[in-house]
Amino acid sequence: MEASKNGADKLNELSMNILVHAGNARNFMVQGLQIVETENNYNKAEKLMDKAHKEIVVAHGLQTETLQKEAMGRSIRYSVLFCHAQDTLMTAQSEILIAKHLIKLCKSKSIKEKSDIHD
């Protein structure tokens, strides 16, 4: 991904792939939270969160591969698109982490409420 035209095209393509996978992850996360809100279906929500995690892993791998090339001395040009892709990835990762905890808390609360009813 050197500073050539071909390198710029590759970096743009890579950035778009990171954005796609991070966006997919975020969409799965939002769907998971909506399932908890509307259906109280924690199994379905957790499956969606697993899909979100898999998308994040792909996006993170693409980013890491690029950063490792730069760490090995290959020049990577500055790219607003790559910077945006990294920002989107980081934001999606943070949101997914929080969403996983929210789902876990809601599930625990739901289980406790059910056991309190039966006591």
Active site residues: 84
- Name which of 21, 100, 26 is nearest 64 in CA terms: 21
- Name which of 5, 4, 23 is nearest 89 in CA terms: 23
**Whole-angstrom Cα distance, residue 118 to residue 34?**
27
Q: Which two tokens stand for residue 91?
A: 């934001």
Q: Calculate the alpha carbon distances from 61 to 18, 89, 114 in Å.
A: 9, 11, 41
Does 87 count as an annotated binding residue? yes
Which alpha helices (H) appear in the chain, and where do they start and end? 5-39, 42-71, 80-118
Which residue numbers belong to the known binding site for Mg(2+)? 87
Which residue numbers belong to the known binding site? 87
